């Protein structure tokens, strides 16, 4: 990270103070991959004197549970990223120094407002295609992403239950600056076609909710895993339609891998949760040391590191 042009950040952000966020989805317990992500978010914020907001991305109501949200707060507090457990904070009177935590499940009215605006501008249409139908029509069976072929663009379907809502995408390359990966160019029309903003089951999609939230909260520094790099241009496309002119800089960080070194750690693979590790007596410093080792920034997995040491190492890796 020594080569990252943080010195130019202010100009890239049009002199606005850096504001970033940590935005976990409460679909399971946190694991080491989340610690890696949180370390990047908080250490970068610290390095650029920015602020971190916490957002609970519970747009997928079928998979998100309150118990996991509470677990996230608890783990972040235990690790030292936040200095107070929001559960405690929220049960007391909210004071201005304790900004309310954004939850996507509480943003229905705002998402509807944005949808209505896009609908009235004829930028959104209803679609009744199943994934299977799109796949069968597709010429891109070997591509990593399914590309929607625009089948329903001109069918003028009504937005009824069991129909998704898609954004009309013009083919155009979108450029953005990533402080880790360098300048990037992506064309959503070629990557995925008209993408869903609301699923057929009525849930808002990740891309839609995250873009409206980032825009509304004034987030201008997005630090997240490199598995989301491919989705960035479609979020910027949407952000432009929200008429948010403020520039955003990204930092897509490397992911830590599972024990085979092949795949990223994920809840689906039953990555051991922090809860279990805590239960087994590991300290925050031990876990932070382990994560830093997996990121290649600690000489040994058994060398504990404090949060401050880890933040320092992430910004100035030891030679
Ligand atoms: N909620 C997403 C996740 O937990 C992160 C989204 C983002 O940072 O844009 O993977
Ligand atoms: Zn369709």
Burial pattern 168-177, b for ≥16 Cβ within 10 A else e, equals bbeeeebebb
Q: Whose CA is nearest to atom 2 of ligand 1?
A: 24
Closest atom, ligand 1, to C-alpha of 22: 8
| Number of other CB atoms surrounding residue 56 within 10 Å | 23
Report the separation in Å between the CA atom of 152 and the middle of ligand 2, taken as the mean of its atom positions: 4
Give the residue carrying structure tokens 């929001």: 86
Could you tell me the two tokens for 39? 């370390």
Residues with C-beta atoms within 5 A of ion ligand 2:
127, 129, 151-152
Task: State residue 252's pLDDT score.
Answer: 96
- The answer to pTM > 0.75 is yes
User: What is the spatial distance between Cα 199 and Cα 292, in angstroms, rounded to a whole number?
Assistant: 37
- pLDDT, averaged per 10 consecutive residues of the chain (319 residues), comes to 64 92 96 96 94 96 94 95 79 56 96 98 98 86 83 97 97 95 95 97 98 97 97 98 94 82 60 88 96 94 96 76
Q: What's the chain's Rg over C-alpha atoms?
A: 20
Report the separation in Å between the CA atom of 81 and the middle of ligand 1, taken as the mean of its atom positions: 17
Task: Indicate which ligand has the atom closest to the C-alpha of 133.
Answer: 2
Report the separation in Å between the CA atom of 162 and the middle of ligand 2, taken as the mean of its atom positions: 11
Pocket test for ligand 1, best of 176, 206, 238 (most atoms within 8 A of CB): 206
Task: Indicate which ligand has the atom closest to the C-alpha of 165.
Answer: 2
Task: State residue 40's pLDDT score.
Answer: 96
Q: Whose CA is nearest to atom 3 of ligand 1?
A: 24
Closest atom, ligand 1, to C-alpha of 227: 10
CA atoms within 13 A on the CB side of 91: 5
Task: Indicate which ligand has the atom closest to the C-alpha of 163.
Answer: 2
Report the separation in Å between the CA atom of 23 and the middle of ligand 1, taken as the mean of its atom positions: 5
Report the separation in Å between the CA atom of 137 and the middle of ligand 1, taken as the mean of its atom positions: 30
Q: Are strands 51-56 and 102-103 parallel, antiparallel or unpaired?
A: parallel
User: What is the spatial distance between Cα 91 and Cα 295, in angstroms, rounded to a whole number?
Assistant: 37
Burial pattern 120-133, b for ≥16 Cβ within 10 A else e, equals eeebbbbbebeeee
Say if residue 271 is exposed, middle or buried (CB neighbours under 10 Å; 0-12, 13-18, 19+): buried
Report the separation in Å between the CA atom of 159 and the middle of ligand 2, taken as the mean of its atom positions: 12
User: What is the spatial distance between Cα 178 and Cα 224, in angstroms, rounded to a whole number?
Assistant: 11
Could you tell me the two tokens for 236? 């910027």
Report the separation in Å between the CA atom of 317 and the middle of ligand 1, taken as the mean of its atom positions: 25
User: What is the spatial distance between Cα 188 and Cα 226, in angstroms, rounded to a whole number?
Assistant: 17
3-state helix, strand, coil in the chain (%, to 5): 40, 15, 45
Expressed in angstroms, the distance from the first to the final Cα of the chain is 12
User: What is the spatial distance between Cα 36 and Cα 3, in angstroms, rounded to a whole number?
Assistant: 20
Q: Whose CA is nearest to atom 6 of ligand 1?
A: 23
Q: E-strand spans in the chain?
A: 19-22, 51-56, 102-103, 124-127, 164-167, 174-178, 182-186, 196-198, 221-225, 249-253
**What lines the ligand 1 site, CB under 6 Å?**
23-25, 57, 210, 224, 228
Report the separation in Å between the CA atom of 224 and the middle of ligand 1, taken as the mean of its atom positions: 7
Contact 122, 153 (CB under 8 A): no
Residue-wise DSSP of 192-252: TSS-EEE-TTSPBPHHHHHHHHHHHHT--EEEEEGGGGGGHHHHHHHHHHTT-----EEEE
Task: Indicate which ligand has the atom closest to the C-alpha of 235.
Answer: 1
Pocket test for ligand 1, best of 23, 30, 31, 267 (most atoms within 8 A of CB): 23
């Amino acid at each position: 990270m020594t080569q990252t042009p943080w010195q130019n950040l202010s100009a890239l952000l049009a002199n606005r103070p850096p504001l970033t966020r940590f935005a976990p989805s409460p679909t399971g317990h946190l694991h080491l991959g989340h610690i890696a992500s949180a370390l990047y978010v908080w250490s970068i914020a610290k390095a650029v004197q920015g602020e971190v907001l916490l957002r609970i991305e519970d747009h997928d109501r079928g998979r998100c549970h309150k118990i996991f949200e509470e677990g996230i707060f608890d783990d972040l507090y235990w690790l030292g990223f936040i200095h107070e457990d929001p559960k405690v904070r929220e049960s007391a009177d909210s004071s201005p120094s304790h900004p309310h935590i954004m939850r996507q499940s509480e943003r229905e009215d705002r998402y509807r407002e944005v949808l209505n605006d896009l609908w009235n501008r004829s930028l959104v249409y209803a679609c009744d295609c199943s994934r299977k139908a799109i796949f069968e029509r597709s010429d891109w069976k070997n591509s990593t992403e399914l590309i929607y072929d625009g089948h329903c663009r001109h069918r003028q379907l009504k937005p009824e239950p069991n129909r998704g809502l898609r954004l009309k995408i013009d083919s155009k390359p979108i450029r953005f600056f990533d402080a880790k990966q360098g300048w990037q160019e992506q064309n959503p029309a070629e990557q995925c076609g008209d993408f869903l903003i609301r699923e057929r089951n009525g849930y808002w999609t990740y891309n839609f909710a995250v873009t409206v939230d980032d825009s509304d909260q004034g987030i201008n520094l997005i630090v997240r895993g490199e598995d989301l790099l491919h989705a960035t241009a479609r979020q910027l496309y949407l952000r432009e339609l929200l008429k948010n002119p403020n520039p955003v800089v990204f930092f897509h960080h490397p992911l830590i891998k599972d024990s085979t070194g092949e795949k990223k750690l994920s809840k689906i693979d039953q990555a051991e949760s922090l809860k279990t590790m805590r239960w087994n007596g590991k300290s925050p410093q031990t876990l932070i040391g382990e994560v830093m080792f997996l990121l290649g920034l600690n000489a040994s997995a058994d060398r504990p590191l404090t949060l401050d040491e880890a933040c320092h190492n992430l910004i100035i890796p030891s030679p």
